[in-house]
Structure 1
């Protein structure tokens, strides 16, 4: 699915949000690895579950054709600073819901990039008549949890001691969902 490009000014920089396209594939592969190295909020450690340029290109093309998928990038002068993805299913029992994921380079945290990616994804989902958006978030990511709650998400469950981080301790994953009463 595609959306129109939108520009945002955030203090010292301006960025655009748009649908990912094939020209982004190589850069997305590198950005994903960098983000995985900058935070433990993701499921992966740096280099794990690597997606190369070719695989990102296939994903972008598949998402362009899928009615229930949306792949967004945020970019400053063609440099990707973050991205989000909504992925749905064509299975009849689950066509009403999508799963949301987002990541932003650490240099751009606190500049509302993730918030705007989420907001744009919610607006798209509502327009598509998607009833539910789900996401997973690490319990220590309190800023994200607060944002998700502000945007209408509720905790639906907890996967206890789901992740082992670099400090050797286990942490829980919060399962959150947002319902859109579009019926």
Structure 2
């Protein structure tokens, strides 16, 4: 699936949201690891990103050829500052209408509107892929993200009180949210 759109952010900066391609693999991995180190709200730790550059490049090539999955990157002044992905919950026909969504942004770029741009792009891609439901999980304490998802139209459909275990804060509640497309 192909996607590219330029958005003017708060403050006038230009953001390019586009497909991640194989040549982005190294920088995307580094950006992802950094984003995961900057906050405890993402669902993995930096050292759990096990793919090397070659594996990441192959994965991005496969995703780019996919008709129903996408990995997007947010680029400002030629630098990757965030990413988002849409992937099938499963391939079985009974759940083929459902997709998962995830997002990460480098902390120094929070509050600029990048999250909103990545969400809108992901929703566009999910619709193009034929999904009718987009789902996500978010740590309940991540109030900024919960608010952002609600403003984008996501609704809570459940919680898991011990769905997330932080090395520093222990068990935390996950909120399950979905958007009908």
Give the alignment's TM-score, normalised by structure 2: 0.92
Once the two structures are TM-superposed, the CA of residue 90 in structure 1 deviates from its matched residue by 3.1
| Equivalent in the alignment of 1:149 | 150
Map Cα deviations across residues 88-144 of structure 1 (whole Å, 9 max, x no partner). Answer: 143212211110000000000000101100011112222333110010100111111
CA distance in 1 between counterparts of 2:169 and 2:137 reads: 21
| Equivalent in the alignment of 2:61 | 61
| Residue 79 in structure 1 maps to residue 72 in structure 2 | no
Once the two structures are TM-superposed, the CA of residue 167 in structure 1 deviates from its matched residue by 3.6
| Equivalent in the alignment of 1:131 | 132
| Equivalent in the alignment of 1:50 | 50
| Equivalent in the alignment of 1:176 | 177
Kindly tell me: are residues 168 and 10 of structure 1, through their superposed partners in 2, closer, same or farther at Cα, counting changes over 3 Å? closer
Contiguous gaps of at least 5 residues in structure 1: none
Contiguous gaps of at least 5 residues in structure 2: none
The answer to which of 112-121 and 162-171 deviates more is 162-171
**Maintained 8 Å contact 2:27/2:80:** yes
Aligned partner of residue 11 in structure 1, secondary structure: helix
Give the alignment's TM-score, normalised by structure 1: 0.91
Aligned partner of residue 29 in structure 1, secondary structure: helix
Q: Which has the higher contact order (CA 8 A, sep 6+)?
A: 2
Q: How does 1:4-15 map to 2 (within 5 A)?
A: 4-11=4-11, 13-15=13-15
CA distance in 1 between counterparts of 2:71 and 2:137 reads: 17
| Residue 17 in structure 1 maps to residue 28 in structure 2 | no
4+ long deviations beyond 3 Å: 166-169
Aligned partner of residue 67 in structure 2, secondary structure: coil
Q: CA RMSD in A?
A: 1.6
